[in-house]
């Protein structure tokens, strides 16, 4: 029976935890607490095994100020923390990993600066470097999901696999934060075409969506990032990852 790792997301903007709709924090009208470190401790207390942190200030090229929060989160919890948001150089990746982050999720850099991305992949290994595939209408988007690249996600995924990538985080941006249901087929296509592990992101609205993803996932889709649905208590039991990881969806 396939198991699915549930990864709570902490999206940071201006030092606060926010709701992100379609990857655009400016659309948000809701803040989920002022303290990202406290939120990380809450998810750890809820038995989360991994935490996903996104710096939407960095991804919008506004500020690197939130790195201090990343470091504090890593110091506060004893579980792996993965991080994404605006990392565009080898040195920035190294600085983030040195801050205690277990692995980084890279999007724009892999498209715009493949040589530097390759160097980071070779030096830090595919265990530490995950490729982000943010997709709108079957097209990869970058720079805070605002710039369209003209490349299809399957084509880009194949290129990245040939470079040595072994895991993708796949997001249908139009469903991100909308709780309209996951684009399971997109994640499945990436997984089946590349043979790489996939972390699904976007669209989960509650128990039924999670079960649907789990039933369709297969072994390659082994984890799912959930944000808004967890913050808004959309599950019958907020310790939902315990159920998913125990195989009780069978």
Distance CA 99, CA 70 (A): 7
Q: Which of 55, 122, 123, 134 is catalytic?
A: 134
Catalytic, 122? Answer no
Query: Tokens for 218?
Result: 């297969």
Distance CA 29, CA 21 (A): 10
What burial class does residue 250 get, using C-beta atoms within 10 Å of its C-beta: 0-12 exposed, 13-18 middle, 19+ buried?
A: exposed
Residue 120 DSSP symbol: H
Contact at 8 Å (CB) between 205 and 234?
Answer: yes
Catalytic, 172? Answer no
| SS3 (DSSP) at 200 | strand
Distance CA 179, CA 21 (A): 9
Query: Tokens for 51?
Result: 């935490």
Query: C-alpha angle with apex 245: 164 to 9, nearest 5 degrees?
Result: 65
Q: Which residues pair with 170 in a beta bridge?
A: 133, 200
> Measured on CA atoms in the order 125, 246, 5, 163, is the torsion positive or negative?
positive
Contact at 8 Å (CB) between 76 and 69?
Answer: no
Task: Estimate the share of the chain in helix, then strand, then coil, as percent rounded to the nearest 5.
Answer: 40, 25, 35
Distance CA 183, CA 171 (A): 8
Q: Which sequence positions are flagged as catalytic?
A: 11, 134
């Amino acid at each position: 029976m396939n198991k699915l790792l549930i990864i709570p997301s902490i999206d940071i903007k201006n030092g606060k935890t926010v709701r992100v709709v379609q990857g655009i924090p400016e659309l948000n009208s809701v803040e989920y607490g002022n303290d990202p470190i406290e939120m990380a401790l809450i998810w750890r207390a809820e038995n989360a095994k991994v935490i996903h942190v996104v710096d939407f200030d960095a991804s919008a090229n506004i500020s690197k100020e939130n790195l201090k929060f990343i470091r504090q989160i890593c110091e506060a919890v004893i579980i792996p923390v993965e991080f994404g948001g605006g990392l565009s150089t080898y040195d920035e990746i190294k600085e983030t990993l040195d801050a205690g982050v277990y692995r980084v999720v890279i999007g724009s850099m892999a498209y715009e600066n493949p040589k530097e991305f390759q160097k980071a992949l070779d030096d830090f290994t595919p265990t530490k470097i995950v490729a982000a595939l943010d997709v709108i209408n079957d097209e990869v988007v970058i720079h805070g999901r605002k710039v369209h690249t003209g490349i299809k996600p399957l084509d880009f995924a194949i290129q990245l696999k040939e470079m040595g990538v072994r895991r993708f985080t796949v997001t249908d941006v139009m469903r991100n934060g909308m709780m309209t249901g996951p684009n399971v087929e997109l994640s499945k296509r990436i997984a089946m075409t590349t043979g790489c592990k996939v972390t699904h992101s976007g669209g989960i609205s509650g128990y039924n969506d999670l079960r649907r993803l789990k039933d369709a996932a297969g072994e390659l889709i082994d984890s799912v990032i959930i944000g808004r649905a967890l913050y808004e208590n959309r599950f019958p039991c907020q310790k939902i990852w315990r159920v998913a990881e125990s195989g009780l969806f069978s």
